[in-house]
Amino acid sequence: MRTIVVAVIAALVALPALADEPTIQLKPGPGLDKVEGNCGACHSLVYIQMNSPFLNAVGWNAEVTKMIKAFGAPIGDADAKDIAAYLAANYGT
């Protein structure tokens, strides 16, 4: 019973944070659908815009690799390549 109460309270506390999430419009381009489908499944796409001033093509490739290898993102090699290419082309330094 205590677990249920804690879960309900946690959900109620989290709701305002979810409501404040901005709608993110990423730049159109090849690979955008893969970015939205894969990256957006685990975290907000605002991270892409936040990191864009700091990452070049090598950095974006490393980020995609980290998401797959360290965090276990279920992204295939072809999609990973397309995602990294999209990010480098549209949000790279």
Whether residue 58 has pLDDT greater than 70: yes
Q: Is 8 a member of any domain?
A: no
| CA atoms within a 13 Å half-sphere pointing along the CA-CB vector of 50 | 6
What was the pLDDT predicted at 12?
60
Q: Provide the residue range defining the domain that includes 86.
A: 24-91
35 assigned to some structural domain: yes
Give tens-digit pLDDT for 16-56. Answer: 555 566 688 999 999 999 999 999 999 999 999 998 899 99
Number of domains in the chain: 1
In sequence order, the 6+-apart residues with CB closer than 8 A to the CB of 22 are: 46
Query: Within a domain: residue 30?
Result: yes
